[in-house]
Amino acid sequence: MMQHNNTFTFVVTGGAGFIGSAVVRHLIENTQHRVINIDKLTYAGNLQSLASIEHSERYTFVHADICDAAAMQQVFSQYQPNIVMHLAAESHVDRSINGPGDFIQTNIIGTYTLLEAARAFYQTLDTAAQAVFRFHHISTDEVYGDLEGTNDLFTESTPYAPSSPYSASKASSDHLVRAWQRTYKLPCLVTNCSNNYGPYHYPEKLIPLMILNALAGKPLPVYGNGQQIRDWLYVEDHARALVLVATTGKVGETYNIGGHNEKANLDVVHTLCELLEELAPQKPAGLAYYKDLITFVKDRPGHDLRYAIDASKIEKELGWTPAETFESGLRKTVEWYLARADWWQPLQAANLAAKKG
């Protein structure tokens, strides 16, 4: 068993993605644990996000697809993990509407394949090793559908009512994890988080898209009237919460992780414009104010109006609270994108080439 003095071997799936890379960086930079990162490196996976820790002797990268059963069995037998943190997922709602097949494959079949590999491995462990083992499934608040009232919050017992192919595929994976826990006694935990933002966020997502479009003098497209409300969570706060749940959470429990930052999409875009006025005053030629670029576009089909999370359980039981406010986190995020064109420019170029191709 690869366990020395309370240091664990973590398998992180999707560790080259936005949230996954934050988890991997957090584990290598702030703990003594060992990390095996499994990533298929689709468009959203980027090893550049791990450049700061890739030379650590406690870090190993495995290029593999979670749907590949033989590859997953190989990872378990070779690295003997104590904790699996399963983040690998297709996660972009618009892409799920245009092409749901990848979401069914990765999010449902992939989770099933990983669960089966974990179960087979778990059954080979002695009692002491079984007592330590955890399978932590990372999900989303979108499985709950949307909230009617302005005061309602998603709790861990909110009924599932997913609205997009993406959220339906994540809901399905959550149900599989709970079934494997109940039927096969695999020690599982589930977390559901609100919208993440921060450094290394793929440029098609709302916040980085708005920052980069504004810098280029391009329109800032806002769906419908922009009044859809989301709860925003700084990605590094989320990474801390996830590792806390994986190492100290109670088996069989679900923990909702939110940032206590409910904002309408339009307000987020206005705040970004104000930050850019301050941090990037040299605007593209002919532009008076960044906010002049805001453009309303036709709403997305089945668009959920409001998500908001009650994160009181993880606060009470595990002592986690977000370190960043929305204002402090957003400022850090804008500063990061302004400083790290070396990270996002190649992604934009690749995107452009793919569209032309």
Nearest to 222 by CA among 208, 210, 235: 210
Q: Which of 166, 202, 234, 307 is catalytic?
A: 166
Asked about 200 being catalytic, the answer comes back as no
Q: Which of 141, 231, 304, 324 is catalytic?
A: 141
Q: Kind of pairing, strands 229-234 and 195-197? A: parallel
Q: Kind of pairing, strands 294-297 and 134-140? A: unpaired
Asked about 29 being catalytic, the answer comes back as no
3-state secondary structure the chain: CCCECCECEEEEECCCCHHHHHHHHHHHHHCCCEEEEEECCCCCCCHHHHCCCCCCCCEEEEECCCCCHHHHHHHHHHHCCCEEEECCCCCCHHHHHHCCHHHHHHHHHHHHHHHHHHHHHHCCCCHHHHHHCEEEEEEEHHHHCCCCCCCCCECCCCCCCCCCHHHHHHHHHHHHHHHHHHHHCCCEEEEEECEEECCCCCCCCHHHHHHHHHHCCCCEEEECCCCCEEEEEEHHHHHHHHHHHHHHCCCCCEEEECCCCEEEHHHHHHHHHHHHHHHCCCCCCCCCCHHHHEEEECCCCCCCCECCECCHHHHHHHCCCCCCCHHHHHHHHHHHHHHCHHHHHHHHHHHHHHHHC
Q: Which of 65, 142, 174, 236 is catalytic?
A: 142
Asked about 337 being catalytic, the answer comes back as no
The answer to whether the beta carbons of residues 168 and 232 sit under 8 Å apart is no
**Which are the catalytic amino acids?**
141-142, 166
